[in-house]
Structure 1
């Protein structure tokens, strides 16, 4: 079996600008990934075939992005027991709220970890996948902790600048 990887599935190529940040987070942690456009509704057989093949090749986490009321994450969760992270894409007349509901409202026993609508959710999907993989990878766990510490340091530096400005009022 090859090194574990994350499969990033998108319902449309128009999802790529949002999902680019997911790929960047995974790449930043040195996590192997594959990205694919596939549809739960328009190419269901191909979606099923890819999920099964990806599992056999070492996929440990699926990240699925879709907009409107599409249900890619739910369809994938229905055919795998690997963790599935759903990213609702902010598009259409409801600006992703329909995608959020179709992603989060799964029946009991078929979970989808659902993140925020849009780019913030796409970024968090990458981080959540890293955290899932880090459970079995000590070096990755250290990298995730270090990234969290760097993020905290940025906030603390911004607060220090704010406090300095306030002191000079």
Structure 2
């Protein structure tokens, strides 16, 4: 995207790309400039810290972190910034995402991570939550969100009518 990113999406591993792509797609559908990249809390902690600093300097306002297994990425980012951090636990282990969920949601006081659902539903909701945070100071974005929600409502009503008329 040509504009400076307002949202950063970090994934802990390239294997998380397909799950988190829906987050990027949702932000794109709302015309929110963002950056989508790999930044591991364990394998590349210096890169992760450097990206947080770099993106804050460019005006990034929300960080979204998707990670599986130990899932410390969101916590590592929250330790580095006071900007909102949203964690997306990813099912990447025999524990079916429970390890990622607990690692993401259990943060010490003063270092919050807003935690959404597992996998693709969580990735989409992370984008929606980031959009709502940004919409607090962007009336045009708030309008786009309301239009999107109206589309969801219209889709349910259409499906209900079709089902009832079968």
Q: Same fold (TM over 0.5)?
A: yes
Q: Which has the larger radius of gyration?
A: 1
Q: Which residue of 2 aligns with 1:125?
A: 126
Report the Cα distance in structure 1 between the residues aligned to 2:71 and 2:155, rounded to whole angstroms.
37
TM-score (normalizing by structure 1): 0.93
Matched, 1:28 2:19: no
Report the Cα distance in structure 1 between the residues aligned to 2:78 and 2:125, rounded to whole angstroms.
19
Matching of residues 42-81 of structure 1 within 5 Å = 42-81=43-82
Deviation for aligned residue 1:55: 0.5
Moved over 6 A (4+): none
Question: Do the aligned residues in 1 keep the contact of 2:6 with 2:32 (CA within 8 Å)?
Answer: yes
TM-score (normalizing by structure 2): 0.95
Report the Cα distance in structure 1 between the residues aligned to 2:68 and 2:138, rounded to whole angstroms.
32
Deviation for aligned residue 1:71: 0.6
Report the Cα distance in structure 1 between the residues aligned to 2:155 and 2:120, rounded to whole angstroms.
20
| Structure 1 unmatched runs, 5+ | none
Question: Do the aligned residues in 1 keep the contact of 2:77 with 2:85 (CA within 8 Å)?
Answer: yes
State the number of aligned residues: 164
| Structure 2 unmatched runs, 5+ | none
